Amino acid sequence: MTLYRCDQCGNKTRFDVFDTVRRRRFEHADLGGDVEVEDEEILERTIDRVVCRWCESSDAVIEVHPEG
């Protein structure tokens, strides 16, 4: 998972992440009509917006890449 930091208020832990996902799912239906997802693969994920839960800024939120 990606870590974020808000440069405006210093928040490092609480964000709303808005994303768009394309995925493949193996849906297995039984004869009674119940469907179970047996496998799921994320094909593509785009982060649309990350909003700080403390100050509600999205412009000041940056991705953090921990060393190592």
**Out of 5, 51, 55, 58, which residue is the one contacting Zn ion (CB under 5 A)?**
55
* Nearer Cβ to Zn ion (12/25): 12
> What is the C-alpha to C-alpha distance for residues 66 and 64, in angstroms, rounded to an integer?
6
If one asks whether residue 51 binds Zn ion (CB under 5 A), the answer comes out as no
**Out of 4, 6, 15, 50, which residue is the one contacting Zn ion (CB under 5 A)?**
6
Is residue 15 within 8 A of residue 7, CB to CB? The reply is: no
- Taking the C-alpha atoms of 17, 18, 21 and 26 in order, what is their torsion angle to the nearest 10 degrees? 70
If one asks whether residue 54 binds Zn ion (CB under 5 A), the answer comes out as yes
The DSSP 8-state label assigned to residue 58 in this structure reads S
| Interacting residues with Zn ion (CB under 5 A) | 6, 8-9, 11, 52, 54-55, 57
